[in-house]
Amino acid sequence: MQLSLSQKEFIRTHGERDVRELALRFSRDDMALLLSQIAGRQMARLKIPSWYEREEIFYPAHLSLEQASSELTARYKASLVSAVTGTSAKERSGRFADLTGGMGIDFAFLAPLFGEADYVEQNVELCDIAEHNFGVLQLHHARVRCASAAQFLREADPYDLIYLDPARRDEAGRKVFRIEDCTPDLTELCTLLLEKAEKVMVKYSPMLDIALAVKTLGHVGEVQVVSVDNECKELLFLLSKTAGAAPQYVAVNLKRSGEQERFSFTMAQEQQAAISFADAPGHYLYEPNASILKAGAFKGVAQSYHLQKLHTNSHLYTSDERIVDFPGRVFEVVSFFVPNKQNSKAFTRETKKANIAVRNFPMTVAEIRRKTGLAEGGDLYLFATTLSDERKVWIVCRKV
C-alpha cells in the first residue's frame, strides 16, 4: 500500500485535474493506480476531509468509497454510541466489532471509543487497505479480521457494541433494498447478534421501508433517520435485548455548518396527534426536512409546532406567526391562486423564473415549466399543491 515518492509527487501535482484528461495525457505502467488514488482523494475532499489531509491514506475502488459513510455521518454515529454506552475516546473501554468493515470510515470513528476494536471484512484487498490506513490514523488497537460476518460472529466472544452496514448490491451489482436481499441477511443473524452483543447498530439505505424493517429485525429500541443538508442519507436501527415493542424515532438533519435539526417521537404519539387544517395558506409556509418526512411524523410535527396542515397528503404546513426553530424550510407567502388560464398568464407575465416544487398535485415540475415557460432559479418559490377543500393551487413565496 506504500506509494513511492514519484507517485506521491504525481498525485500532489495533478490531484485537482480531471482523471479522464489525465488518462489521455499520460502513459505510465502505474497509471491505473495513480488515477484511482487521485479520484479517491477528490471524493474524500468533501466526504472525508480529515482523511483528505493525510497524504498516506490509500483509497480503494471507486464503488467502495461511493458506498461508504461520510465523515459527518460517521461522527454522528460516534456521538450516538457515546451517549448510549457512556464511553468516550478518553476512557476507551469495552469491546467493539464492525462486521462489514468496507472502507473503514465508520469503524475509524467508532473504534476510538473502545478498548478493543475488531474490523471484519471478507474482501482481502479491503482488509489490506484498512490495515494500512488504520496505521496512518494511529488506530493501533484496531484488529483486522478477514472473514464473513456470519463466520466471524459464530466464533466471536461477546461485545459491547456490534455495528453492521449490510451490502446493498446483489451479485450482478444491482441495488437491493429489502433486508433479506442485503449481505449479510440479518433475518438469519439477528438472534445470534443479540446473543453476542449488548447493543447492535445497523445502517440501511433510506429507501428501506422503516415499519417493515422494525417488524423484521425485532428488538429495535430506536430508529434514527439521518439526513445531511436536507438529503436523506441513511437509516440507523439500534437493537438491544431489552428493547420494548415501541421504538423511539429520531429524525435528524445534519448541516455542514455544524447545526442539527432533531425531532423525536413514537408511532403512538404520531397516531394520536390532534391537528387542524387550514382553509388557506397563512403568512408562513413550512416544509419539514427530509428526515421528518421519511420518518412519517406528518401529524406530530404539526402538533409540536402549533401549525395547521394544508391537506392530509400535502405535508405542507402554515401559520400566521413565524416559528423560528422549525426543523425544515420556512417561507413567507407572497400569494396563492388556482392556476387556471387567466391566473397563470397573469403570474407569468410578471415572473420569468422560480424554484418549483410539487406536493400532492396532478402535474410534475417539468410539466409546469413547459406550461408556464418559467426558468429555474431566482428568489421566488412556487409550491404546486392541494388544499384541505381539494382546491389545486400554486403558492408563491420567498424563503425566510
Res 65: pLDDT:
84
Res 89: pLDDT:
66
Query: How many Å apart are CA 212 and CA 223, to the nearest integer?
Result: 12
Angle of the 31-47 helix axis to the 5-14 helix axis, nearest 10:
50
Cell of 214: 422494525
pLDDT band at 62 (very low <50, low <70, confident <90, very high): confident
pTM more than 0.85: yes
Residues 6+ positions from 231 with CB-CB distance below 8 Å: 290
317, 289 in Cβ contact below 8 A?
A: no
Tens digit of pLDDT for each residue in 130-173?
Answer: 999 999 999 999 999 999 999 999 999 999 999 999 988 777 67
Res 245: pLDDT:
81
Q: What is the mean pLDDT of the chain?
A: 94
Side chain identity, residue 96: F
SS3 call for 32: helix
182, 166 in Cβ contact below 8 A?
A: yes
Mean pLDDT confidence for 217-224: 95
120, 184 in Cβ contact below 8 A?
A: no
Res 90: pLDDT:
66
Tens digit of pLDDT for each residue in 336-386?
Answer: 999 999 999 999 999 999 999 999 999 999 999 999 999 999 999 999 999
Strand-pairing partners, residue 117, are 96, 142
Q: Considering the chain, what percentage of its residues have pLDDT values greater than 90?
A: 87
In the chain, where are the structural domains located?
5-59, 67-265, 272-399
Q: Is residue 174 over pLDDT 90?
A: no
264, 248 in Cβ contact below 8 A?
A: yes
Classified by CATH at the fold level, domain 67-265 comes out as Rossmann fold (3.40.50)
